[in-house]
Chain A
Amino acid sequence: MNNVLKLLLEGEPLDTAQIGKILNLGAEAVDRELAGLRAQGILLGMRAVLNPSYEAERRVRAVIEIKIRTEGTGGFDGIAERISQFEQVESCYLMSGGYDLLVVVTADNLYKVAGFVHERLARIEGVQGTSTHFFLRAYKKDGFVITDEGTRRDQPSVSP
């Protein structure tokens, strides 16, 4: 794997100057690498990972399972691409199993999610049924375990 990408995926908060120094590349070279990764469609963007409990006070998040009828519609891709356009949709996946699309949405409150389901999703040609589940509490997000206290609290700062 590309070294710049490997370092980004480790999740440490590093800017391009720091990455440049760590990889002995220089900040410009790192910028070029990142631009290259973007141009290839590998790196879609970079975002801060927030503690879900902070987000939960402001937004609700739900996962919606969607069953789809493909005859006479644009097929899975057409419908999935259409659903993905909505700004409420955080991610959208085609799934194996009992339903077809898994959509994660965020909204200001529960009613807005409900509105999205019956006013937007349900009206799309080919959507046969939906099942909506709200997130209650997060225990791990994007590789970060969410705990109340640090695991290394009692570690001495200097040891032999």
Chain B
Amino acid sequence: MDDSARFVAQHVATLPKSGIRDFFAIVSKMKDAVSLGIGEPDFVTPFHIREAAMAALEKGRTSYTDNRGTLALREEISRYVARNYGPEYNPEDEILVTVGVSEALDALLRATLNPGDKVLYHEPCYVSYAPSVTLCHATPVPIRTVSSDQFALDPAALRAAWQPGCKVLVLNFPTNPTGGTANRAKLEEIAKFAIEKDLLVASDEIYSELTFDGDHVSIASLPGMRERTVFLHGFSKAFAMTGFRIGYACGPAGVIDGMLKIHQYGIMCASIISQEAAVEALKNGRESMLHMRDKYRERRDFIVRRFNELGLPCHLPRGAFYAFPNITGTGLDSMTFASQLLAAQKVAMVPGTAFGAAGAGFCRASFSTSYERIHEAGERIARFLDTLPARK
């Protein structure tokens, strides 16, 4: 009998498993399911980037690198961030290359949180935020965002959620799963509040290139924010490089040094092969990135229109590649809706509650997939809705 679970630490044992895992287990066993549940680009990594990884192998570039990442990559990151987001970071000591943004955020939280500290973040949000905080023996403090506001973070809600002991504010615009974005005016108010309360801001901008309407503004570029913001970014979404597992953090040297300690003992360094590919992506990947962004925007317009036609009200996400329709009109909760839809019509959407309590009443549908699949999913959802008592 395996009773090894008794060895697992209490704060890990009580940590809930990701709601997505259970759902994945069901979908993966189902044949001909149409999945709108995939949280990654539908595109294969552009070939010139893959070729850079192959060239690294050919040249025998298979060693460890500097814990911070190769200087060549950090220099490219520095240029890219300055050009596209504004703030300038010194490649020597203000940039850390990580294994995806997930590792960067984890290292940042572990480097900064003492037991009992509190972390503000807006919900619905990416699945790892609250658990990563809990793993630091700290307390997650969610701030609810709402569809009427297109899931932007309302500065008043931030102010209301704040409590003594809050040390870090995690932002993610555009947001997974809602596509919420923050305009300059809102960010300025948030920045003012962060300064007033002496908060460190962790800004996860992994979807920033995939902003469809308006310009993306990084909070790190606002006055007084560079010294209290860690800008987190990576290659997975914009350059379709999820499997390369490569991300980075840019911030003031003191915090980056703290993160570096955790990174050097826990990870050592990101894969050199991925780092070489990342250099190529930053140097020459813009054209393919823009091409992919156009495709996402076209699919977004289609899927959002379909949900609204089907009577599942859906705001127009301004970024990322997720639609987040409201399913409360069906009389079902998110989990029941997603499970019944999957069982009856083999369409997979992720229940909004997988992204926190504020996701109740919504489901996430990725439009990073083919027109054919989005079209087919729409037909199947229509058939499913016809069978619901609340809709007859």
Contact = CB atoms under 8 A, between A and B. Distances in A.
Interface of A: 7, 10, 12-14, 18, 21-22, 24, 151-152, 155-160
A135 to B, nearest CB: 23
B58 interface: no
A158 B38 CA distance: 5
Contact of B375 (A14, A152, A159): A14
Nearest to A21: B375
B38 A18 contact: no
Contacts of A24: 305
A149 to B, nearest CB: 13
Interface of B: 18, 20, 23-24, 27-28, 33, 35, 37-40, 44, 126-128, 176, 302, 305-306, 348, 350, 354, 370-372, 374-375, 378
15 contacts: A10-B371, A14-B371, A14-B372, A21-B375, A21-B378, A22-B375, A24-B305, A152-B44, A157-B28, A157-B38, A157-B348, A158-B38, A159-B37, A160-B128, A160-B176
Contact of B40 (A12, A14, A151, A155): A155
Contacts of B126: 160
B372 A158 contact: no
A159 B40 contact: yes
A160 B127 CA distance: 7
Contact of A151 (B37, B44, B370, B378): B44
A13 B38 contact: no
Given A14-B371, A157-B38, A158-B23, 5 more contacts: A21-B375, A22-B375, A158-B350, A159-B24, A160-B128
A156 B28 contact: yes
A23 to B, nearest CB: 8
Contacts of B127: 160
B35 A158 contact: yes
Contacts of A21: 306, 375, 378
Contacts of A13: 372
Contacts of B348: 157-158
A156 B24 contact: yes
Contacts of B40: 155, 159
B362 to A, nearest CB: 15
Contacts of A7: 371
Contacts of A155: 38, 40
B378 A158 contact: no
Contacts of A160: 18, 20, 39, 126-128, 176, 354
A157 to B, nearest CB: 4
Contacts of B37: 157-159
